[in-house]
Structure 1
Amino acid sequence: MFDRSIVERRLELDPGWRRRRRLAAFERFSQLEPPSEREELWRYVELDFSLGDFELPEGPGRPIETDAVAAALAPVASIRVVDGFGADARAEVEGLVVGALAAHDGTTPSPERAVERAGIEPDDHFAAAHEAFTVDGAFIHAARGTRVPGPVYVDVQLTGSGIAAFPAVVLHAEPSTELPVVVHLRSPDGEYGFAAPHVVVLAEDGAVVSLTILQEWGSEVRAVGRVRFAADRDAVVRFTEVGLGGRYARVRLDGDLVGPGAEADVVGAYFGENHQVLDYRYHMRHAAPHTRSDMFLKGAVEDEASSVFTGLIRIEEEGQKTEAFQTNRNLILSKGASAQSVPNLEILANDVKCGHGSTVGPLDEEQRYYLMSRGLSAAQADRLQIRGFFEEAIARMPHHALAPIVRERLNRKFVEAQEEGRL
């Protein structure tokens, strides 16, 4: 199913630059085996699926109805990407372009510069498959000096059973722009499917990009996502991922701070239930002086769910005066649940400030006792602890309109686990 004939059909519609990338990716895909837990970047997980389980859709399925997220955000622009096909784009801000990715190939503005600067390399089986078989996605471009006054909402959907989708989202913020974007990943519960979304961000000099991914795949989706950004001089990238859904949901983040003064703030909140596996591989590279990054992730797992966080901060020789920190805190709520937390540093410069920390453990018994002494039941005390645990991460998220939704959905997962006796 995933063969050269499909690639050749895609090539007929590609501009030259994308054609070169697709052909190179297919050659890599033909050579690369599916990953195994013996590889460092795939340690701690055992995949229970293969691409051969799925088929590529001929076109978009029936869209899922809009939910509370879009209404809460009140977006100034939006686009829907259904089964990898972009549609229904809307933008009413001067200097802002929002449209289907394929429709902007060969036009001005074009996604070519952002992809060439910050595109994801076909360096593993799934990344190569994405680059070889992707059809479409969303392209968002903010022209020099544009201040987008509200979020751009990208509704990425997987609608059918047994299909594989490779949606792409490309963001290009020209110098001195402000670009807030929320990407919502979702699908119907119980439908077996595969998604490999790629999100690419180019933040040029002085740009501020705030990107939040709200991941709510259905319970039987296997998802292997990639995010990469490049931040030039004095640019700021604020990236958040909220991980709620999927049977197996992976995010690999590659952040490149390539201009002096570039900054990145990375926030995460995730909750695994039942047999979910939530898998985070976050890499931050400081390749210029006076750069700053801060990773802060909090997660909880219950029943037989598991989570993985492996973080890497790499500071190149050119990265003098860098400040970089990473924190990962995990709650284990059931005996059968597990969390792996492995922060790492690679420092080649000699004038930096760096730190990392991780914790894995249960809810605090002393806090429970204290709250119960004030009249709460054990269940109520634990709910209050969960709310407080995630609040620090929620407070750091740049899209404040999402906070009530994120808070409610995280808390609801815990309450359901209590009521169903999984804790």
Structure 2
Amino acid sequence: MSSLTEETSTSESSDAVAPIREAFNRHVEDLDTAPSWWKTAKAESFETFAKLPAPNRSMESWRFAKLKGLELSDIQFAALPSISDAASLVEKSNFLDNYAGRFVFGDDQTLQADRISPELAEKGVIWAPFREAITKHADIMKDYFMKQEADLGSEKFAALHQAFLENGALLYVPKGVEIEEAFIVYNWSINAGSAIFPHTLIITEDFAKVKVVEANLSASEDAAAFSCGVNHIFAGVGSTVDYTLLQNFNEKTLGFQINSNIAGRDSNVKTISVNVGCQRYRSETHGQIKGPGSKVEMLSLAVADNEQEIDQRTLQTHSAANAVSDLLFKNALIDDARTIFSGLIKVDPGAQQTDAYQTNRNLLLSNTAEANSLPGLEIDANDVKCSHGATTSQIEDDEIFYMLARGIPRAKAQELIVYGFFEEILERIECPTVAENARQIIQAKFKKRLAKQSQAKS
């Protein structure tokens, strides 16, 4: 596939699509046991991908993003070799000691499937990999899979995701079932040139309660890869969903993550993203507040160094009255890293007494880092309380001086300040061990940075 250049284009050229089409045809041929509706949906999605234009400068949804260099020409859109170190990756998939269910995927292959207890199964809980769900739970998949359309700029990549999707996790929680232990999904990128398509689909019926953790990780620091993930949440009346994503792909990976949720009446949905990895990473999050009395929290933190770019696009759509949404995105930038935050609160005419907040805070740890913020409001109701804001600042000199005066090296002082900056979000992760793993991922990034600096000096 050719580069997604700065130039405007109406659609991908046939020459650019041809090698991916060949790979897609081989992909479909390998789906010999898949139901016909699944193959048909994939074929339709591929045609959508082929017809949609590549991102270009005329698109407001790609404002500020670097378009040159978003290449997929080296990616293998095909079946990959078997994974020889599956056991070691399963052993490393240890963010939770106790869990209600666990899937470990490596290059979209199932490395480990830890199923639910008989007690949960008797209550009607479904925890299944997609390869199984498309046959055993076809009705649920037909009703919910990819029913929340991508609408923040990455429609082309969402279509690519559905076309090449190999596996994923389906979680269905029936009415009134509350589950204390979390479900967890690990998505490992392993082979160089691989393309993975993580997908987690969460459905909770009325008054259900569940926690889900997803970890996107690289098996090595050197294998350049492509990840295009999707997470969809459907929260029924009075239900509670807590979702946490830890993204720590290596810094040679190109990543996309498309998240959305639909909150029913009196439901509570909280999503937290911790983004540390990828050379280029774009996340899109759409909170759809469709039920009165519902509350949606959208939280994110990102640490970017070197020349990383983290592009964040969000939408809070209020279409029901008496509902709350609260968005907080925090970014810490080092070296020549750059972030983009573009967020919109949209309140429909009938969504009176909406209470919505949107905040983006950026902390610059170098003079060459760049943070772009575009918060916005679109309000069509007259009885609402909405606010949005963005701040970008450097670490105060007196904060650094205070620590230097006590013998703390400058680099360590910056690290400690970043920890404090992020704690407001980390402390809201429901699973303590997951929160601690998030802290360790951030700490490991700083340790790696210090090691490189020491090598450069020696």
The equivalent of 1:147 in structure 2 is 178
Question: How has the CA–CA distance of structure 1 residues 296 and 67 changed in structure 2, closer, same or farther, with 3 Å as cutoff?
Answer: farther
Question: How has the CA–CA distance of structure 1 residues 379 and 265 changed in structure 2, closer, same or farther, with 3 Å as cutoff?
Answer: same
Question: How has the CA–CA distance of structure 1 residues 378 and 182 changed in structure 2, closer, same or farther, with 3 Å as cutoff?
Answer: same
Higher mean alpha-carbon deviation, 47-56 vs 105-114, is at 105-114
- TM-score, normalised to structure 1, is 0.92
Alignment gaps of 5+ in structure 2: 1-18
Count of residues in correspondence between the two structures: 423
* Matched position secondary structure for 1:52: coil
Deviation sequence 1:270-329 (CA, Å, 0-9, x none): 101112111111111111111111111111111121111111111111211111101111
Q: Residue 273 of structure 2 is aligned with which of 226, 241, 247? A: 241
Contact 2:365 2:414 survives alignment (8 Å): no
Higher mean alpha-carbon deviation, 315-324 vs 401-410, is at 401-410
The answer to whether 1:29 aligns with 2:29 is no
Q: Map 1:208-357 onto structure 2 (within 5 A).
A: 208-357=240-389
The answer to whether 1:115 aligns with 2:133 is no
Distance in structure 2 (CA, Å) of the matches to 1:242 and 1:73: 20
The answer to whether 1:52 aligns with 2:73 is yes
The equivalent of 2:7 in structure 1 is none
Higher mean alpha-carbon deviation, 235-244 vs 163-172, is at 163-172
* Matched position secondary structure for 2:255: strand
The equivalent of 2:20 in structure 1 is 2
The answer to whether 1:74 aligns with 2:98 is yes
Contact 2:28 2:39 survives alignment (8 Å): no
The equivalent of 1:191 in structure 2 is 223
Contact 2:95 2:434 survives alignment (8 Å): no
CA positional deviation for 1:398 = 2.8
Distance in structure 2 (CA, Å) of the matches to 1:116 and 1:126: 13
CA positional deviation for 1:375 = 5.7
Distance in structure 1 (CA, Å) of the matches to 2:36 and 2:380: 38
Question: How has the CA–CA distance of structure 1 residues 118 and 241 changed in structure 2, closer, same or farther, with 3 Å as cutoff?
Answer: same
The equivalent of 2:108 in structure 1 is 84
- TM-score, normalised to structure 2, is 0.85
Distance in structure 2 (CA, Å) of the matches to 1:311 and 1:320: 21
Question: How has the CA–CA distance of structure 1 residues 341 and 414 changed in structure 2, closer, same or farther, with 3 Å as cutoff?
Answer: farther
Question: How has the CA–CA distance of structure 1 residues 13 and 123 changed in structure 2, closer, same or farther, with 3 Å as cutoff?
Answer: farther
Question: How has the CA–CA distance of structure 1 residues 378 and 132 changed in structure 2, closer, same or farther, with 3 Å as cutoff?
Answer: closer
* Matched position secondary structure for 1:270: strand
The answer to whether 1:201 aligns with 2:233 is yes
Contact 1:266 1:296 survives alignment (8 Å): yes
Question: How has the CA–CA distance of structure 1 residues 150 and 236 changed in structure 2, closer, same or farther, with 3 Å as cutoff?
Answer: same
Question: How has the CA–CA distance of structure 1 residues 331 and 415 changed in structure 2, closer, same or farther, with 3 Å as cutoff?
Answer: farther
* Matched position secondary structure for 2:184: strand
* Matched position secondary structure for 1:23: helix
Higher mean alpha-carbon deviation, 119-128 vs 235-244, is at 119-128
Contact 2:188 2:216 survives alignment (8 Å): yes
The code of the aligned residue for 2:144 comes to A
Deviation sequence 1:360-413 (CA, Å, 0-9, x none): 121111222344455645444333322211111212223332222222322343
CA positional deviation for 1:112 = 2.5
Question: How has the CA–CA distance of structure 1 residues 317 and 405 changed in structure 2, closer, same or farther, with 3 Å as cutoff?
Answer: same
Contact 1:259 1:288 survives alignment (8 Å): yes
Higher mean alpha-carbon deviation, 390-399 vs 299-308, is at 390-399
The equivalent of 1:136 in structure 2 is 167
* Matched position secondary structure for 2:179: coil
The code of the aligned residue for 1:126 comes to F
Distance in structure 1 (CA, Å) of the matches to 2:81 and 2:329: 34
Distance in structure 2 (CA, Å) of the matches to 1:116 and 1:415: 39
Contact 2:90 2:112 survives alignment (8 Å): no
Q: Residue 129 of structure 2 is aligned with which of 100, 112, 125? A: 100
Contact 2:243 2:270 survives alignment (8 Å): yes
Distance in structure 1 (CA, Å) of the matches to 2:203 and 2:93: 24
Deviation sequence 1:237-272 (CA, Å, 0-9, x none): 110100011111111111211111121111111101
